[in-house]
Structure 1
Amino acid sequence: MKDNRSPLIRSAGAALAAAALAAAAACSSGGGSGSGGDADTYTWWDPYPQHAEDSAWAERVAACGDEAGVTIERTASDTTALTNQALLAAQEGTSPDVILLDNPAVSTLADTGMLTTVDELGLDVSGVDENLLAAGVVDDQAYGIPIGANTLALYYNADLLTAAGVDPAAITDWDSLTAALAQVTGNGAKGITFAGIGTEEGSFQFLPWFWGAGADLTDLDSPEAVAALELWTGWLDAGYAPDSVITNSQNTTWEEFLTGEYAFAVNGTWQVNSAADAGFATGVVPLPAQAGGAAPAPTGGEFIIAPVQTDTERYDVTRQIVECMTTPEGFVETATTFAYYIPPTAEGQDALLAAQPELQPWVDAVRSAKGRTSDNLGTDYPMISEALWTAVQNALSGSATPADALAQAQADAEAAIG
């Protein structure tokens, strides 16, 4: 096991293929405070530049500093820049005290030795759902706490389903979903839209079908994986999904759904408010697994992590700041601030549902979700993901069969991982 209590950061290379994780760093000596050692100021980095200094989020961060008796100096950057900056800061010995980081990148930073473990900070993560905590676990050590989770489910246009005689509660597996698509398209509506774009978003949206077939990210060309990709290509061939899915991001997919023309859309927790404001009645059901039940959907959301510091006396206040963000009340506040992150603990989820019981489908989805870097994939995940989204693109475009596309993906992933 790595001993992160040392201020020395071991040398490591981190090659990241996913666009949101593109970075390479060799971290050597360092591990200082980005605040320059000011005992009254703690530095905080997060990936929310859309939340300005007068926002509810910024005020919440500042309040956690006030509670710990210090001032928090917050810096916001987009996800890619934040990952790169964190790696560079560790190399230069200028790491901030606290970082909020997209969960697939946690293992990358942990692999360099630049992060403290939750045990070293004295944090209790026993109440955090294991499936959510797993994204930040490397070699049986947890390197942060999820501040909440979002994931995917199946939104539906209730008006179109009623007109076509489809009961959304009857959609429990792939066959029943495909039958529903046949009914709604036969009734003159459009079927389903999703994001198959050639980026991490494409992998993110494909994974529920991939995992729902029983496939594993270490075996991209398994029969189960082929079945999942054949499901998507089959929908295109039948006219149940539009050709635009090849280039759709999750945002453009949602824009298509909001036209009121589509019966279904694969999208995330973050569209809850938008769905409520749509010009038609909407609902949500879990993404179905091939043989029935809810498919594991990938978890989105950030972890709160603490880089190694030369001055280890800072850790006590850092722990207080982290604990402020991760109380049941804190988790619920995050959920409502970001509309919606589901709390990563049963206690937090119950508190959220007490206030907003209509979020039960999303709590259920998060409880079934899975981290993309789980199964100890760590820094291999971005290379596997790129191979997977490339296969999806090749199959959706018709340039390769699902079986051939995934066979090439497996070969490419093995070559990239080495």
Structure 2
Amino acid sequence: MPVTPARRARPRTSTRSALVRLTAALAAVAAGTTGCTFSSAEAGSGDTVLTFWHYFQGAQQEWLERQVADFEADHPGVDIQLVETVGSQHVQRLLASTVTGTTPDLFINNIVVDYPTLTSAGVMLDLSPYWDDYADADQFPSSAVWRSGDAVYDLLPYNNLLGLYMNTDVAGRYGITEPPATLPELAQDLAAVTDGGDGGLALSAAPSVEGAWLFAPELLGEGIGYCNFSGPQVVDSFTRLADWARDGYVPQAAATWDQNASWQQFMTGRYAFALNGNWQLGNVGSADFGYVTAQYPAPADGSSTVYPGGEGFAIGATSEHPDLAWEFLQDEVLSRDGLLSLYEAAGSIPLRADLADSPQLADDPDVQPFVRATRSTAEWPDNTSTAEMQTALGEAVSATVSGQLGGRAAARQAVADIGQARSEGDVVGGEACS
């Protein structure tokens, strides 16, 4: 998921984020280990065991399993136990592990949503001693290194970004040969496709951060983000979404689809278009229809602008083997080979400078729209209520697609709820957003 520049000081604990989630975490402790499953990687017989918590699926999970196997082959006597968690329970379980003093040795996290909470709760180890001595540190931009004060807690080695996928078999039946570059062009294409009886646009409109992330670029391209979420552009965007739902361009069922569910719908071949991320590049190759990719369609009077995302990689604060855990990150995640293999497996865009012009990226037409998107990204708010603001937007989007709210009513709800969450968040300097 998303990313913001690494410029935070250590945030204060927010009652809407850290404390609420910590309460949920304590409940999770009482509930036991339900929701976590061990992969086959735990079946080794080594003397030293590292645990790695993740919520990867599909191509990303297969990549991680290969990296673990590679590391174990080079380190006899070391076993890495991959623990697959339920994404919605991931943070609560990390918080619970801090309470019990049993943080995993390694874990990924949804960095923009969860970083303030995880640092405030002391879940992550300070990586500064390792990063300061890391020979390739200068290959990464500052946005890849997440700091609180002088401490480095989280590393974001790649970007995930949103874009447009077009089923050329469906679109071609209506004379659509190029993916739409703007939202008005997309609306015109959707009208043609749905009038002909085919599916229009598959996307996540879930009442969560996923639905919010898919909708936000419609406003980002006009300069509207969470810190200034108001004005006629908001009303216009929700009114357009309500019209698209009413006219069948977007199915009502999308109000409950997460990104994986919406992708599965696109892969059926029934839909002409899908809004999803570059991480699906590792899966779209199995489609039995032709496809092309493009940047997220721009607003009529704006630019194609998206929030950048990706997973943070961290070491648990109570890890008994931090040196070995860092060695894994250095060799299997941060390295040229590690990031290039992730790109080849799942389409994630490496942030290493020495991979920017690699033939694998430069010669791949499907990834180029996402590479271009890295040059036109919006900055996430420096606010501990970022997750709450996203949820508020996702709820309004879902209600619009399901027909529970009209466009104007949904816009009013989103503006009010995002504003309230923003004002309750904590940031350095006491400002609501920065």
TM-score range, shorter chain: 0.7 to 0.9
Amino acid at match of 2:108: L
Separation of aligned partners in 2, 1:357 and 1:67: 35
Shift of 1:199: 2.5
Q: Which residue does 1:307 correspond to in 2? A: 316
Question: Which of residues 112, 119, 127 is equivalent to 2:139?
Answer: 127
Which residue is 1:396 aligned to? 401
Aligned pair in 2 of structure 1 residues 2, 138: CA closer, same or farther (>3 Å)? closer
Deviation at 1:411, TM superposition (A): 3.0
Q: Which residue of 2 aligns with 1:361?
A: 369
Match in the other structure for 1:198: 207
Q: Given the alignment, which residue of 74, 80, 83 partners 1:73?
A: 80
Shift of 1:265: 1.3
Q: Name the residue aligned to 1:336.
A: 344
Q: Residues 212 and 11 from structure 1, CA distance in 2 versus in 1: closer, same or farther, beyond 3 angstroms?
A: closer
Between the two proteins, what is the percent identity of the paired residues?
A: 26
Summarize the alignment of residues 211-360 of structure 1 with structure 2, pairs less than 5 Å apart: 211-290=220-299, 291-299=301-309, 301-309=310-318, 315-324=322-331, 325-337=333-345, 339-351=346-358, 352-353=360-361, 356=364, 358-360=366-368
The equivalent residue for 1:155 is: 165
Q: Secondary structure at the match of 1:77?
A: strand
Pair 1:176-2:182 in alignment: no
**d(CA) in 2 for partners of 1:285, 1:177:** 12
Gaps of 5+ in 1: 5-9, 27-39
> Structure 1 residues 185, 409: closer, same or farther in 2, change over 3 A?
closer
Q: Which moved more, 1:284-293 or 1:42-51?
A: 42-51
CA distance in 1, matches of 2:311, 2:73: 22
Question: Conserved in 2, the CA contact under 8 Å of 1:62 and 1:71?
Answer: no
Alignment of 1:27-46 (within 5 A): 41=48, 43-46=50-53
TM-score normalised by L of structure 2: 0.75
AA paired with 2:381? Answer: D
Alignment of 1:56-71 (within 5 A): 57-64=64-71, 71=78
- Report the counterpart of residue 35 of structure 2 in structure 1: none
Is the counterpart of residue 165 in structure 1 residue 175 in structure 2? yes
Check conservation: 2:166, 2:273, Cα contact below 8 A.
Answer: yes
Mark the runs of 5 or more structure 2 residues left unpaired by the alignment.
1-6, 28-46, 425-434
CA distance in structure 2 between the aligned counterparts of 1:25 and 1:14, rounded to whole angstroms = 15
Instruction: Name the stretch that deviates more: 390-399 or 114-123.
Output: 114-123
Shift of 1:353: 1.5
1:277 counterpart SS class: coil
1:130–1:25: structure 2 CA closer, same or farther, 3 Å change rule?
farther
Aligned residue identity for 1:402: G
Asked if structure 2 preserves the Cα contact closer than 8 Å seen for 1:23 and 1:84, the reply is: yes
Assess, with a 3 A threshold, how the Cα gap between structure 1 residues 59 and 186 changes in structure 2: closer, same or farther: closer
What is the match of residue 36 of structure 1?
Answer: none
Q: Hey, what does 1:31 align to over in structure 2?
A: none
Aligned-partner Cα distance in 1 for 2:12–2:382: 20
Deviation per residue, 1:54-102 (Å, 9 max, x gap): 9663342254466578724324131344322322222333333322223
How far apart, CA to CA, are the structure 2 residues paired with 1:129 and 1:68? Answer: 30
Match for residue 97 of structure 2 among 89, 95, 101: 89
TM-score by length of 1: 0.77
Over aligned residue pairs, what C-alpha RMSD do you find?
A: 3.8
Amino acid at match of 1:127: Q
Secondary structure at the counterpart of residue 201 of structure 1: helix
- Moved segments of 4+, more than 6 Å: 1-4, 19-22
Task: Give the Cα–Cα distance (whole angstroms) in 2 for the partners of residues 137 and 207 of structure 1.
Answer: 26
Q: C-alpha separation between the residues in 1 aligned to 2:212 and 2:8?
A: 31
8 Å CA contact 1:210–1:229 kept in 2: the answer is no
Q: Which amino acid aligns with 2:315?
A: A
Alignment partner of 2:215: what SS?
helix
Does residue 144 in structure 1 map to residue 154 in structure 2?
yes
